[in-house]
């Protein structure tokens, strides 16, 4: 399950882990004008882990999800 919210300066997608356990904490993906920020609470450390991706890195990640193993470089068309 997931939700989508449009805030003033970002679009926020929250991914909720469902189904048979063990389940992971919710993941929040915040899409800003210039970066993508991914957050997830870590109960072992009682902290939120944050990863910030450039838009190019996010584009490459999206493309990589549909490709077989290998090394690739995307070109602008």
The domain spans of the chain are 2-18+25-64
pLDDT value, residue 23: 93
Query: pLDDT, tens digit, for every residue of 47-62?
Result: 999 999 999 999 899 8
Judged by DSSP in three states, 59 sits in helix
Nearest partner of 33 among 16, 58, 50, judged by Cα? 58
pLDDT the model gives residue 17: 93
Residues 50 and 72: their CA atoms lie apart, in Å, by: 26
Cross-strand pairs, 11? 6, 31
Q: In what order do the strands lie in the sheet with 27-31?
A: 2-6, 11-15, 27-31, 35-42, 47-54
């Amino acid at each position: 399950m997931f939700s989508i919210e449009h805030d003033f300066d970002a679009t926020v997608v929250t991914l909720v882990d469902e189904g048979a356990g063990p389940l992971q904490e919710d993941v929040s993906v915040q899409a800003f004008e210039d970066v993508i920020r991914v957050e997830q609470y870590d109960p072992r450390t009682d902290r939120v882990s944050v990863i910030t991706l450039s838009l190019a890195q996010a584009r490459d990640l999206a493309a990589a999800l549909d490709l077989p193993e290998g090394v690739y470089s995307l070109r602008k068309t």
